[in-house]
Amino acid sequence: MSRFSFDASASRNGSFSIESPVDVPSFHRNRALSIRSNKSKNSGAAAGSKKGGFSFNSLRGQVQPELSRKLFRLIKSENNLIGAHETAGRERVSIATQLSEWGEHTGDDSISDISDKVGVVLSEMGEQEDAYAHALDDSRAYLKAIRNTEKSVQPSRENKDKIADEIGKLKLKEPGSTRLPVLEQELVRAEAENLVAEAQLTNITRQKLKEAYAAEFAATIERAEKQIILAKHGRRLLELLDDSPVVPGDTRGSYQHSSQARQILNDAEDDLRDWRPEPEGFSTPVQSRSPTLGGKGKEPQTTNDRMSPVQSEAATVESDASPREQRGTKSSVYDEVAG
């Protein structure tokens, strides 16, 4: 990683790795402020990160049990998605380095400094993308647990169906065969084993499905909010660059915002370190209450507190009229009976 980028592992804990430049005291920071070094190291790492070789993954998907085949393809697609995010992170870091190097060769102090500092922000965005890819890989492990359980359930299903088919064929050919009682006992045992396996499958499927996508959504929120933090500080950096037009022959004033640019990076570091996930402000129907017969477990509704004045008056009139309507209904019923 270049000298001016944020360290990926440290950024997850809220801090950046740094080598302080000559003109900046390093008694309270441990982060570099340039990405214009270690060019050969970066190029070697980029070359070593390329994957090569022949793979039998496409053939392996054809030999999966029927029950777990679709989930196997889903997990494989997730792996492709993870690789895409890793590639996007590396490209972002590469773009940040190229931007910084270009700004250095412009000969303009303001462009050189701002492009270098913006490169830091872009580089950290790339590191956040890589961290997101690792989080996706962690959530993918939960789906693998479902797939492995499906693979273990498939043999019990096939064994039960095989015994049932054998019993059906034997009843057609030899209804009085002595093997029928034996096969029927084996079928009872196979059905019991399959019942246990199916219960385990449905429990693990529900649990791991929630865990997998809860982890993915949490990682998505973290990535989005941290990249928003970085983007806002990146816009602060751009405000330090004077883009007012100059008349030919005039000279632009000297750049005076290097200390402010460094402070913006320090603010970005502090904001990333202080970031915490917000507590969930909602509850699922399963967590709130379970459905029961007779409306039990439902929250009491206080309709009077929510009524507008017009609605309350209408309710009062309706309640006053209801006894008379009930009495009128009773008398009409009595008249019909008497008639």
pLDDT at residue number 42: 52
- What domains lie within the chain, and their CATH numbers? 8-44+66-243+255-278+311-338 (1.20.1270.60)
Alpha-helical (H) ranges within 174-288 are 179-239, 258-274, 285-288
Q: Cβ neighbours of residue 209 under 8 Å, at least 6 residues apart? A: 142, 143, 146
Q: Cβ neighbours of residue 33 under 8 Å, at least 6 residues apart? A: 4, 18, 20, 21, 24, 116, 117, 120, 262, 265
Long-range contacts of 41-46 (CB under 8 A, 24+ apart): 42/1, 42/2, 42/94, 42/97, 46/90, 46/94
Q: Cβ neighbours of residue 90 under 8 Å, at least 6 residues apart? A: 46, 49, 126, 130
pTM comes to 0.62
Q: Which of 70, 67, 201 is nearest to 146 (CA)?
A: 201
User: Taking each helix axis from N to C terminus, what angle separates 179-239 and 109-173, rounded to the nearest 10 degrees?
Assistant: 170
pLDDT by residue for the chain (339 residues), tens only, comes to 444 444 444 444 444 443 444 444 444 444 556 666 655 445 555 444 445 455 555 445 455 667 778 889 999 999 999 999 999 999 999 999 999 999 999 989 999 999 999 999 999 999 999 999 999 999 999 999 999 998 888 888 888 889 999 888 888 888 888 888 888 899 999 999 989 999 999 999 999 999 999 999 999 999 999 999 999 999 999 999 998 888 888 888 888 999 999 999 999 999 999 999 988 766 666 554 444 444 444 444 444 444 544 444 444 434 444 444 444 444 443 343 333
DSSP state of 280: P
Q: Cβ neighbours of residue 21 under 8 Å, at least 6 residues apart? A: 32, 33, 34
d(CA 123, CA 127): 6
Long-range contacts of 98-102 (CB under 8 A, 24+ apart): 100/4, 100/34, 100/35, 100/36, 101/36
- Cα distance from N-terminal residue to C-terminal residue, the chain: 100
